[in-house]
Amino acid sequence: MPDREERFRVMLDLVEATVGPEPRVLDLACGTGSITDRLLRRFPKAVSTGVDLDPALLTIARGTFADDDRVTFVTADLKDPDWTARLPYDRYDAVLTATALHWLCAGPLATLYGQLAGLVRDGGVLMNADHMIDRTTPRINAAERAHRHAVMDRAKEGGAVDWAEWWALAAKDPALAEPTARRFEIYGEHADGETPPLQWHVQTLLTAGFAESRAVWSSPSDALVLALK
């Protein structure tokens, strides 16, 4: 993902612009804590709650931030109606997530947006950077996808590890083998999900109770949508 750092930079720029440099953040579907890592390096007085269900990725995240009292991790299924009860706070300044919620189908994602509207304080924000595919432009999409995969193939030829290889390595790691096995029991090879277009996200967030919503960054395949409470 050659534009990965750019989307994180824009995300954190807008955290600072909307809620300031000392935010209480919910790192949603946090994985290994990529957002939390960048958040704390930029805003040392921030606090973060990371939420995920993946036991392998949470093992890495908890190891990374083991000695940092600014960070809390919660194991929760975002499709569980009561998942928010596990959180240490009732309200957050910002909810941030990246390349994760496309694992959910549109119905559960709309429900999740409604739950998140209840967690974000007035004046706070939700930002989701993810695959948001415009299906009205199939030829553009096909050309972009072919080019992106060619770049990925060249990276792999240069030694980069792809999705399947990364998980194969994790399964052999002494600290990750057991949680990786549990991870595949939960998800299988890959969870089913959808990639609704940008406008679906914008409208669904407004319906969920946010006051304003629009894209604040985009690449040929992804977008970062911001919703303001």
Q: Name the residue ranges covered by the structural domains of the chain.
A: 4-135+174-228
For residue range 135-146, list pLDDT tens digits in order: 999 999 999 999
**What would the pLDDT profile of 155-165 be if each residue is shown by its tens digit?**
999 999 998 99
Cα–Cα distance measured from residue 46 to residue 41, given in angstroms and rounded to the nearest whole number: 9
Please give the angle made by the CA atoms of 84, 13 and 97, to the nearest 5 degrees: 30
What is 4-135+174-228's CATH superfamily?
A: Vaccinia Virus protein VP39 (3.40.50.150)
Q: Are 198 and 217 contacting, i.e. CB atoms less than 8 angstroms apart?
A: no
Residue 191 clears pLDDT 80, i.e. is over it: no
What letter represents residue 130's amino acid? Answer: D
**Residue 65 Cα to chain centre, angstroms:** 18
pLDDT of residue 194: 86
Contact 46, 70 (CB under 8 A): yes
- Are 64 and 34 in contact, with CB atoms under 8 Å apart? no
